[in-house]
Structure 1
Amino acid sequence: MVERIHQDFRKREILYSLALWLLSLILPDPQLHYRREYRLRWRDLFYLLAILLLPLLFSDPHFHHLMVLAGIHGILALGLTLFLGYAGQISLGHAAFFGIGTYTTAILTTRHGWPPFLAFWASGMVASIFAYLIGKPLLKLKGYFLALATLGFGEIFLVLIKESASLTGGVIGIFGIPWFRIGGFVFDTYLKQYYLVWIVLVGLVLFTKNLIRSKVGRAYMAVATSEDAASSVGIHVSRIKLEAFMVGAFYAGLAGSLFACVMSTATPETFSLNLSVLIVMMVILGGMGNLYGPILGAIFLTWLIDTLAQYQDYSLPLYGVILILLLIFFPDGMGTRLRVRLIYLISYWGRKKRREKVNL
């Protein structure tokens, strides 16, 4: 009798916790943040206007295509920074979830006739389901062991993709993926794809801001600081790490779906270890623990790779030297350092204005 009552209580607790978790993603806790933090800042308006006007100022299709890829990489980096920067865990298998999203969209649209809009959301869900199945055993590991385990997962994913020729097309891959469309509007040009990808990225940034300011986000940061301390105050550490892993995989699945619709192909070489390391570098160079930094890192590395492709014989040495210099001069990340400098300049300008008023 007591055991049955305990099971019923656990079921109600799970349902209530799920409802509160979903609510916390949408409504941040107003008791812990000043109301002015949720107003639209001038900085946010500047970023939004830059995103809207940038493709109109530069009409080169190659520029638009690079910014589309940078936006997709930005979504990947944003998802990984939740797991790496805020939850304090490391993953070298993020490219696998990106590939899961890409192949999910490719299979659903080319073989089952799904509209790309539905396949877009299905890709994120499938990637998060795989993250749940993989994360349950893997997230019991920590540090370098977790990194090696996720690295192994990424390599296993590549082998399965190449060997499952009947489902994924094997080494050749899947071609003829339709353009993304919403109703009758087709995103069939780089300019349209630019706005599609960056609107999705802006929406995910806003969602992530609320997530970080919620109780779940504070639990992420508590786990990153000390798992023992977080556990001592009632935080379910393993569940929090799994949730961060699943949210990051969901973002990667959405990015993979957009990538499939933009490139119209899905081939296994795209989702190698090199991509996983590149995403980690985007987060580290941009700055862990903030949201805009990894996006800045994604834009910078996307453009750097494209620029160095012109110097094929010296591209790898130059790439390595530039990364080393960035890590030396921006140890906290480009986004973090530039933000600190900007705050310093603004405060200096404010103090100067106040001194001028006093002297008058």
Structure 2
Amino acid sequence: MAGETTGFRLRLLLLLLLALSTAAVVVSGVGAEEEAAPAFREAPAFRNGRGCAASGDPAGAIHIAMTLDTTYLRGSVAGVLSVLQHASCPENIVFHFLASSPRRLRTVVLATFPYLSLRMYRFDTALVRGKISSSVRRALDQPLNYARIYLADLLPREVRRILYLDSDLIVVDDVAKLWGIELGSHVLGAPEYCHANFTAYFTDRFWSDPAFSKVFEGRRRRPCYFNSGVMVIDLERWRAGRYTGRLEEWMRVQKRRARIYELGSLPPFLLVFAGDVKPVEHRWNQHGLGGDNLEGLCRDLHPGPVSLLHWSGKGKPWLRLDAHRPCPLDSLWAPYDLLRRRGSDDLLAIS
């Protein structure tokens, strides 16, 4: 009898250990994003000024797309706040958020911005499975970093134009000015940086193969670098030209044929659009504030006026501020940080 009792207890203990290990897998796997989502203070309501179209009028809507995940959620929230705070018609702005697990993140965003007009879309990472190759920085290899390629497919057809913004930037001007640029016959508009060494964005293998490098022949102008973190896109022209497939094709070349670039989702955009981009004022993407992709050292602003500050690169302002090692320009991001810190609501005020 004693042996049977001991055996029963052992089996019970094994079942308990199995149950605990299964629960741990759930917390660290499927449920990790929901468990780790930070909490934010509620932002104030921002109302339209005079001369704005009626809220809900499609003719006056400004459509902005961003990605959402827990790693960059703090940056996304700061970006949204900055857009609303400086907009002349904030109630006319519609945010389109792409996330691989949107349910919990939708709850967080709505709790932070109760008056926000938003739509959430699930980005299926299977769309890019097998197409992503390793790059110089691990963050650039995340599937959600490629979601911008699929905006025309995920957003409804009635959305004809979109302003795509990265999650590590703030806007300090009325976004309607950027939204209203004339694209003409161009598919995409963005600030260009023709002083940058364009050849450095591709490998020697690319430039030594005429079958690859001739892709830039016949463009309207010489190809220049542009940052894909700030783009105004004509979605109708994109769909008509099937540009998603064109970008995917270069990803397949990189993955299966030859290593022709090192920087994640940016080079396919350069391969498809460089030399055929509608130039936008540099003030709308003061990029590189996160430093390079290896060390993330502090950088200064580019010469000229500023409408948008972009911490592209390895260094992110919220991480440097938390580590008490901020760069001077990180103080410009801090007032838009709505993170609710445990035990303290005395955060930086919203001006």
Q: Same fold (TM over 0.5)?
A: no
> Which has a greater percent of strand?
2
User: TM-score scaled to structure 2, two decimals?
Assistant: 0.24
> Which has a greater percent of helix?
1
Structure with the greater alpha carbon radius of gyration: 2
User: TM-score scaled to structure 1, two decimals?
Assistant: 0.23
The structure with higher relative contact order (CA 8 Å, sep 6+) is 1
